[in-house]
Amino acid sequence: MEKIFAVIGMVLCIGITYLFSDKKKEINWVSVGCAFFGQVLLALALIKTPLWKGVEWLSAGVTWLLGQANEGINFVFGGIAPDGFVFFINSLLPIVFISGLMGILFHFGIIQKFVAIVGKTVAKVLRVDSLVAVNGITNMFLGQSDALFITKSYLPKAKDSVIFATLVGGMTSISCAVVGLYASYGASMEWILVSMPLTVCSTFALTQILMPTKYEADIEIDNGDKGVNFIETMMNYATGGFKAVIGISVALMVFLSLVAMINNFLGLFFPSVTLQSILGIIFTPLAFLMGVPAGEVGIVSQILATKLVTNEAVAFGLPQFAMLSANAKAMMTTALCGFAGIGSIGILIGGYTAVAPNKVGVVAKLGMKALLTATVVNMLTGAVVGLML
């Protein structure tokens, strides 16, 4: 029954998106179909074929890589918690190392070459704007604001539909730097990695319905803020990673404390009512349509609601996430792996202020629409995964 609901949910995602489309007559349904069915086929290949073993090997490699961050962390913070678990140290600080590593790969052009080959191929196959395709692929490696620098020469002249697609792409994706953070909450590294390419496909499908883009000629990849040597680039990215760590820490402290305060206040009058339970009512039908097992719909709806009003880190950190069954946790991991929270609008405005200040007004205008679209995109990815389980 859950699989039937998942199929219905996928159809409704496309149908509702179509109802809110700005230019229904310009929709290229071949492009949409290729992106959507490409996602389904990719999910089938990754989950139901021997390729899953490759995902497991990649997961083991990423886990090993994250473990290498402990050498530097232990040297700097080793005396603080030698035998215990401190979230800031064990979960957040590895982001600094991974960010620095991404800087090295970026400096030597490895990320750019991969993005250029895959992004331009996707653009030709799906007949979407090359800038949109390249940005979508880049988002799998870099943060939502850093990814903008890859195409910064083209953004000031980009159409609103292209800007919208980059906003949704930034909100639906996660960067390589945060995969360890999500895994520390108990999310499976395999499902985190699977979510990354699947979400790119669903992003292309839904943005091409809401605000269609047309295929444009290939673009040249910018080198962004590359330093004079790889050490400078590495340090720039590592410093940016540490700023992200501070930002995540501040957000977690504020949002978790705020939620606790609201729940304690509600408890004075309604002992069994919480903010999550109130917001979860709105997401209950959506959780059903993701194909979540009936007994876990209530928990899942609360987690989804929490992500929308705060961020994915807060949602992953909820005790309810650890209570989910293996299948529900797999679906929720893929649905939560995205930066689709209210704070992302501010982050993207900041990013566009740096690369295309003339488009900041467009970003502000389309920000909430992009956030809601990104939420649907992530849920569509979760539904596709649920269909395969």
pLDDT one-digit tens code per residue, 202-261: 999 999 999 998 876 667 776 666 778 899 999 998 998 898 888 878 877 887 788 889
pLDDT tier for residue 4 given thresholds of 50, 70 and 90: confident
Rounded Cα–Cα distance for residues 143 and 387 (Å): 29
| Alpha-carbon distance values, 300 to 41, 91, 306 (Å) | 26, 23, 10
Cβ(242)–Cβ(155) below 8 Å: no
Lowest-confidence segment of 38-52, 68-82, 90-104, 234-248 by average pLDDT: 68-82
Where b means 16+ CB within 10 Å and e means fewer, 287-301 reads bbbbbbbeebbbbbb
The residue written with tokens 């990423």 in the block is 62
Over residues 337-343, the mean pLDDT reads: 83
Rounded Cα–Cα distance for residues 362 and 341 (Å): 19
Over residues 70-91, the mean pLDDT reads: 76
Over residues 346-370, the mean pLDDT reads: 90
Residue type, 315: A
pLDDT of residue 358: 94
Over residues 346-352, the mean pLDDT reads: 86
pLDDT of residue 266: 92
Is the pLDDT reported for residue 45 higher than 70? Answer: yes
pLDDT of residue 85: 67
Over residues 19-38, the mean pLDDT reads: 91
| Alpha-carbon distance values, 43 to 24, 178, 286, 344 (Å) | 28, 22, 21, 27
**Burial class for 223, CB neighbours closer than 10 Å (0-12, 13-18, 19+):** middle
Rounded Cα–Cα distance for residues 276 and 220 (Å): 45
pLDDT digits (tens, 9 = 90+) for 155-209: 998 999 999 999 999 999 988 888 988 888 888 999 999 999 999 999 999 999 9
pLDDT of residue 362: 95
Cβ(27)–Cβ(208) below 8 Å: yes
255-259 long-range contacts (CB < 8 A, ≥24 apart) are: 255/310, 255/311, 255/314, 256/314, 256/317, 259/306, 259/310, 259/314
Phi-psi region of 127 (alpha: psi -120 to 50; beta: other; left: phi over 0): left
Report pTM.
0.86
pLDDT digits (tens, 9 = 90+) for 309-323: 778 888 888 888 989
Is the pLDDT reported for residue 84 higher than 70? Answer: no
Rounded Cα–Cα distance for residues 59 and 188 (Å): 9
| 8-state DSSP, 222 | P
Rounded Cα–Cα distance for residues 376 and 14 (Å): 10
pLDDT of residue 288: 85
Q: Which residue has the higher pLDDT, 195 or 2?
A: 195
Find the DSSP H helices in the chain.
2-19, 29-48, 51-77, 87, 94-107, 110-126, 130-138, 160-172, 179-184, 189-210, 230-269, 275-289, 297-309, 312-317, 319-322, 326-336, 342-355, 360-388
Mean pLDDT, rounded, of the chain? 87
Is the pLDDT reported for residue 338 higher than 80? Answer: yes
Is the pLDDT reported for residue 286 higher than 90? Answer: no
Over residues 272-277, the mean pLDDT reads: 82
Enumerate residues 6+ apart whose C-beta is below 8 A from 352.
Answer: 148, 155, 359, 360, 363
